[in-house]
Amino acid sequence: MTRLELLQSIIDSYDKKTYLEIGVSNGATFFRIKCRKKIAVDLNFAFNTLKKIAWNFINFSNLNNSYYQLESSSFFKKNKERLKSKGGVNLIFVDGMHTFKQSLEDILNSLEILSTNGVIIVHDCYPPNEHAASPREEYPTKAIKLREGWKGAWCGDVWKSIHYLKRSLDEKLHISVLDSDYGLGIITLKRSFDSSYKIDDLLFNEVLKLNYSDLINNPKKMINLKSSDRFKLDNFMNF
Ligand SMILES: C[S@@+](CC[C@H](N)C(=O)[O-])C[C@H]1O[C@@H](n2cnc3c(N)ncnc32)[C@H](O)[C@@H]1O
C-alpha cells in the first residue's frame, strides 16, 4: 500500500472533507488526492503555475486548493487559530523536513488543529537501511550513497518522533506504523490534545541518542510496527 492509497482510502472510507499536506514538493501525492478542501504547505514548491492549472483539469478536487509557500512552523503559527475555529482539519499528511525535531514539531502542531476523529499520517517512519536513516547532519555524502544497500531514499530520523510520542503521549494517542512505503505512521486521538503540551527535553535528548540498530532490533516496541499483509484500515483507525 502506498501513501497515496492509504490517504485516499481514509478520505473515502471515513468521509474526510479537509486534507493538509506538510511538505508537498512536486505534488506527486497532493495533486492526485481527491478531497473537498486541500491545503498545501512547502517552503519551496517544486512546480509552476502551469502545472497547477493542468492538475485542475486532471483532478477537479484541485480547483478548491490553498497553497502556502512557507516553513511549516510559520504556517501553523499564522493559521492555527483560524483552522481550529473551523472545526479543525480531518486528515493531515506530515512529510516535510525529515529530522526528529522538525517532524515532532509538525506532528504536535498537527495534533492541535486536528478535528475530532481526525487522522495524522507521517511518512518515512521505517527507513529501509542505515543510510536512509541518517540524521540530517550526517546526510550521506556521494560516496556513502554509492555503497551497497543504498537505493537513494532518505527518511532521516522521523522514526524517533514516533518513538518519542509513544513514550510521552501513549495515554492520549493511538500510534502505529504500517510497514509499507518507507513506514506510514498512523496517529489518532484517544482523547483531546492539550495545546499547552511542551516537549520533554530530557526524553527528547534520550531518544535523540538512539540508533538505527535500536529501531531495527525491536520495531514493534519502538514504533509499534504492523505488517502490511492482510491490511485492514479499521484495525488502524481506533475510533
Ligand atoms: C519528501 S518531500 C515531500 C514529498 C511529497 N509529500 C510526496 O508525497 O510526493 C519533502 C518536502 O518538504 C519540504 N520541506 C522541508 N522542510 C520544510 C519545512 N520546514 N517546512 C515546509 N516544507 C518543508 C521540502 O521543500 C520538500 O519539498
CA of 96 from ligand 1 middle (Å) equals: 4
Sign of the dihedral through C-alpha 236, 113, 21, 8: positive
Domain annotation covers residue 182:
yes
Residue 137 belongs to some domain of the structure: yes
The domain that holds 205 is classified in CATH as 3.40.50.150
Cβ–ligand 1 distance for 28 under 6 Å, the answer: yes
Cβ(25) – ligand 1 distance below 6 Å:
yes
Pairing of strands 89-94, 37-42: unpaired
Number of domains in the chain: 1
Q: What's the pLDDT score for residue 148?
A: 66
Q: Is residue 213 part of a domain?
A: yes
- For position 51, what pLDDT does the model report? 97
Asked whether residue 146 carries a pLDDT value surpassing 70, the answer given is: no
Task: Assess if residue 152 is contained within a domain.
Answer: yes
Provide mean pLDDT across the span 213-230.
Answer: 96
pLDDT at 210: 97
**Is 95 inside any structural domain?**
yes
What end-to-end distance do the CA atoms of the chain give, in Å? 21
DSSP for residue 44: S
Cα dihedral 3, 177, 189, 13 in deg (nearest 10): 40
Note the pLDDT of residue 145: 67
Residues of the domain holding 87 = 3-234
Q: Following DSSP, what letter does each residue of 133-174 receive, concatenated?
A: T--GGGPPPHHHHTSTT--S---TTTHHHHHHHHHHSTTTEE
Residues 161-204 have pLDDT tens digits of 999 999 999 999 999 999 999 999 999 999 888 889 999 999 99
Grid coordinates representing 192 are 483531546
Centroid of ligand 1 to alpha carbon of 149 (angstroms): 24
Q: Assess contact for 231 and 178: CB atoms under 8 A.
A: yes
The answer to the question of residue 239 being in a domain is no
pTM of the prediction? 0.96
Cβ–ligand 1 contact at 24 (below 6 Å): yes
Share of the chain above pLDDT 90, in %: 83
Structure confidence by residue, pLDDT tens digits, 91-104:
999 999 999 999 99
